[in-house]
Amino acid sequence: MVLAMLLSEIKEELKYLESLVIEGTNFQFVIEKGTALLDEIVVQEHHELRASIVLVLINAHFYQGNIQQAKSLCEYILSTMTGVEDKLIYAKGLIALANIHKHENEFAEAIEICFQAEAIFQHENYTLGLAKTYTNVAIMYRLLAEYKKSLEYMDKGRRLYEELGDELGIAANTGNIGNVYFTMGQHAKSLEYLNTALHIHENVNNLRGIANNCMTIGGVHLLTGDYELADSYFQRALENFTLLNDRIGASHVKSNVGILLEYLGKFDEAQNTHLEILDYSIEIQDALATATQYGNLGQLLMNQDNPNCDLIKAEDYLLKALNIRTQLNLRQDESSNHKCLSELYELTEEWEKALKHLKRFNELQSELLSEDTKHKAELLEQQRKVDMIEQEKLMQITRYQEQERMLHNILPSTIADRILEGEHNIVDYAKDISIFFSDIMDFTSMTSSLSPDILIHDLNILFTEFDRVAKKHGIEKIKTIGDSYMAVCGVPIKKHDHALCLSNFALDVLETSKKYTLGGFPIHLRIGLHAGDAIAGVIGTDKYSYDLWGDAVNIASRMENSGEKGKIQITEYFKQLIDGHSHLQCTSRGMIDIKGKGQMETFFMHHSNNS
């Protein structure tokens, strides 16, 4: 009987599998173990855990070359992880899909998908995701020969890794910057970054990072003719791959070492090295590596400086290499192979064979040149698509910023932020708030003779000043309707002294209004204040409106409607909240009839004689 795994055990196993993918080893083990984990009952019950395992499987299949399987798993992630709580996993699925498009040389599509993931990572404040996204985009720009953009995005990723203190991320990005400069032919600049990356890997004792960087640095020195340095870096790389028990990595280094030994004139050692790698390549059934070693051996044995020069063996190796490369449709390698055979048959004075292979070399070169032109045209088209994607992204950012600005203008900032973050149906219970209403006395008769231009101009000036005073006192404007102005204190931001703040605002507004006119007519306000509880929320979907509802709102409105010119009328409850403040004085108006409430004692609030 097989016992079911505990949730904690599965999470530990998942971490281990993730570390194997990062290390780049044992992909088949990761696939087998990860697939088995999906069958565990506890995994089937945990939606997010299952998706995390699938993400590991996507990467393992991708790196092992099972592209179609990786793509199918990506489609599963993107079709199932659509909830608000699944955004990060969805974004990680997008990055995996982008890698697949990159593998298929669909760079424009890959970059567009990366930008979709970037938007989610930014919204979720997931810095690591952003760092990885920028690194991916940078690599794709390098493949598009957009080196300036590649370096810009690589640097953005590196800075985020530095912010996170992620040494491995910093090292990987720094090394990638070195690769960009290497592609540009700037070998000195390339070595500067590659060496910096190597030092970081050394500091954290990351053997794989050390091995990979040493192999790349050795390759740069090999190309620039500094064979002694190339050899020292290749040996370090070999030592570390051996410690990691990574025979594939070691074989890649040895292949470079074999070429280096030939350059140094150490032909016996070069031949032995290529034969060793050839045997291993055949053992692991790596056809590409096998063809490479046949080709290396063929060129070595036709080298006239080699005391062991053997043109018959060289021919045999080169023909074996050609056979594999033709089957694999590696036309650039096939073309080079034909050129080598043509040169070999010249040495053996087999002119007909030499001409045959030279002719095929020229045919392939012509086809490759045509394909290269076509490829460059395709790259230009992809660059055009990427430019359009970036322009659209910039337009989206601009539209979003404009939307953000408009929402903040018409709604309280905290409410606007909640809408921008995707919240719907915003409804809050506002407890202990103070509400303000004002209107202009005799507004209709006063303005009946005014032109619309003058009326709107003067009202705008007045209410803009009210807005300034509101901001000064921490008051939230709710709306204006005609000549009425409604404001609140204590919502959406809680304030324990809401009544005092609103009182000071009301007194300021009353004084401020005396400085203005409507078409030359003096302005006389009546103001009503009350405090209590209310419902606050947003109505509308296209045209938003933040408003308040409840008995406290109605009473505040009644205080304004039943008030007197140039005065601030408040309820007894509101008076209790501001009692004890020496600069405020309240005078009883007595009992008055309030519509819908009956008899209520109200007060006029004003500055005290001592203030």
Mean pLDDT of 200-212: 89
- The pLDDT value recorded for residue 365 is 83
Question: Does residue 468 lie within any of the structural domains?
Answer: yes
What rounded mean pLDDT belongs to the chain?
A: 87
Better pLDDT: 233 or 186: 233
Task: State the pLDDT at residue 324.
Answer: 92
Summarised one tens digit per residue, pLDDT across range 549-565 is 999 999 999 999 999 99
pLDDT > 60? residue 210? yes
Pair 406, 487 in one domain: no
- For residue 24, pLDDT beyond 70: no
Length, in residues, of the chain? 611
pTM over 0.85: no
User: Are residues 466 and 581 located together in one domain of the fold?
Assistant: yes
- Asked if 429 and 500 sit in the same domain, the reply is yes
Whole-number pLDDT of residue 2: 41
pLDDT tens for 306-350 read: 999 999 999 999 999 999 989 877 778 899 999 999 999 999 999
Percent of the chain with pLDDT over 90: 46
Residue 411: predicted pLDDT: 76
**CB contact at 8 A, 32 and 56:** no
User: Phi/psi class of residue 426: alpha, beta or left (left: φ > 0; alpha: ψ in -120 to 50)?
Assistant: beta
Q: Which residues pair with 584 in a beta bridge?
A: 607
Q: Are 255 and 278 in contact (CB under 8 A)?
A: no
Higher pLDDT, 534 or 123: 534
Q: For residues 263 and 400, state if they share a domain.
A: yes
pLDDT at 259 over 80: yes
Question: Looking at the structure, do residues 385 and 468 belong to the same domain, yes or no?
Answer: no
Same structural domain, 427 and 406? no
Q: Is the pLDDT of residue 357 over 70?
A: yes
Co-location of 506 and 599 in the same domain: yes
Q: Tell whether the model's pLDDT for residue 591 goes beyond 50.
A: yes
- In whole angstroms, give the CA distance from residue 322 to residue 328: 10
Cα separation, 49 vs 60, whole angstroms:
17
Residue 38 covered by a domain:
no
Question: What number is the average pLDDT over the span 530-539?
Answer: 91
Residues 350 and 495 grouped into a single domain: no
Give the pLDDT band (50/70/90) at residue 610.
low
CATH of the domain at 573: 3.30.70.1230
Q: Which domain holds residue 583?
A: 422-443+450-607
- Is residue 398 located within the same domain as residue 471? no
Q: What integer pLDDT is reported at residue 3 of this predicted model?
A: 46
Handedness of CA 88, 92, 97, 98 (dihedral sign): positive
Distance CA 69, CA 176 (A): 28
Q: Total domain count for the chain?
A: 2
CA 344 to chain centre: 54
Does the structure show a pLDDT above 90 at 354? yes
Q: Which residue, of 410, 435, 470, is where some domain finishes?
A: 410
In a shared domain, residues 312 and 426 = no
Range of weakest confidence among 33-37, 289-293, 495-499: 33-37
Selected residue with higher pLDDT from 501 and 67: 501
Would you list the DSSP string of 154-196? Answer: HHHHHHHHHHHT-HHHHHHHHHHHHHHHHHTT-HHHHHHHHHH
Q: Where are the beta strands (DSSP E) in 337-475?
A: 427-440
How far does CA 6 lie from the centroid of its chain? 33
Highest mean pLDDT among 62-71, 174-183, 502-511: 502-511
Assess whether 464 and 573 both reside in one domain: yes
Within a domain: 131: no
Residue 209 domain-assigned?
Answer: no
**What's the CATH number where 311 sits?**
1.25.40.10
Do 429 and 496 belong to one domain?
yes
| Cis status, amide bond into 522, omega within 30 of 0 | no
Residue 222 vs residue 288, higher pLDDT: 222
289, part of any domain? yes
**pLDDT at residue 392 above 80?**
no
